[in-house]
Amino acid sequence: MLNNIKIVYSGLDNAGKTTIIKFLESRQYGLNELKPTQGIERVEIQLSMDTQITQWDMGGQKKFRDEYLQRERDFHDTDLLFFVIDLSDERIDEAIDYLSSILQIIEKVNQNPLIVVLLHKKDLIQEISQLNDLVEKIKDKINSIKKNFQVRFFKTSIYDELSLLNSFSIGLATISRKARELNMELSKMANKVYADAILLIEKNGFIIGEYSKDEMSDHIVKSIYSYLALSFIDIIESNDEAAPNRMILDWNEKGYALMESVSLNNKPYYFIKYSKSSEKIIRKFVLRSILTSSEAVTNIIKNYF
């Protein structure tokens, strides 16, 4: 039985909502082919965890925004709201005011979705200090109007694929009971295979399960994911007979990682396992736990997918 999740994408016109949805749908995007969304468009995607996602792309032109604010039903049964803010747009205050109006409607209709704010087009602000200052100001303003909603922030760019995949994966995992159960299984697995962090990934790059022992381990495994995961997946998907199905990485003297592909019912999955233990334990981690890790991940996939 499919678990149906409704995700609403909102924001001002030209914030980048439709491009983000098209990217998540196919991991491809054509910046020159997209036209402004007229009203609401719906896109469906299906993930391995028996999850059917309906993504509502709400056009950001003012005439449509005014209509949505008069039509409460559009926000009924919303599980996850992605609000996209163009960091290069002079209308940031207008965008925050619009978000505030949406939150008032959602509160009125007794919904409690997770709110994910995408601080988008970060690539257009070259100066890091300027970017960070702007982001903090936006966060402060949104936190002052968020009411009792849980809000998460992500800096994103269409040219940084992993920033989009990460925000989508974390947002989805936060609202999915099945994802939370899966993360518990990965936590148990980590204790058995000398891992400080584990990521389970679909072939489209979505993180569908994760465990991290601490913040440093989480940062490192996400860095490995950001720098190497999509390239590794593309190599495997190329069906090159010479392509390895696993990689062992020495991560800047901060530990070791194993990145591997596994297959179940002809569907490929990928996982990254990271350990920051001593060299003695690392030898055991690398040489003795590879097969154990593959079997453990395969069993988890069987149980959940």
| Residue range 152-181, pLDDT digits in tens | 999 999 888 778 888 888 787 777 777 778
Q: Domains for the chain: give ranges and CATH numbers.
A: 3-175 (3.40.50.300), 178-304 (3.30.450.190)
> Average per-residue pLDDT in the chain?
82
SS3 of residue 107 by DSSP: helix
What gap in Å lies between CA 79 and CA 64, rounded to an integer?
22
Q: Are 87 and 131 spatial neighbours (Cβ–Cβ below 8 Å)?
A: yes
Q: Residue 36: what pLDDT?
A: 44
- The answer to whether the CB of 94 falls within 8 A of the CB of 21 is no
Q: For the purposes of burial, counting CB atoms within 10 Å of the CB of 288, is it exposed (0-12), middle (13-18) or buried (19 or more)?
A: exposed
- Strand 246-250 vs strand 256-264: parallel, antiparallel, or unpaired? antiparallel
CB atoms within 10 A of CB 65: 19
By mean pLDDT, which of 37-51, 97-111, 238-252, 289-303 is the weakest?
A: 37-51
User: pTM, whole model, 2 decimals?
Assistant: 0.75
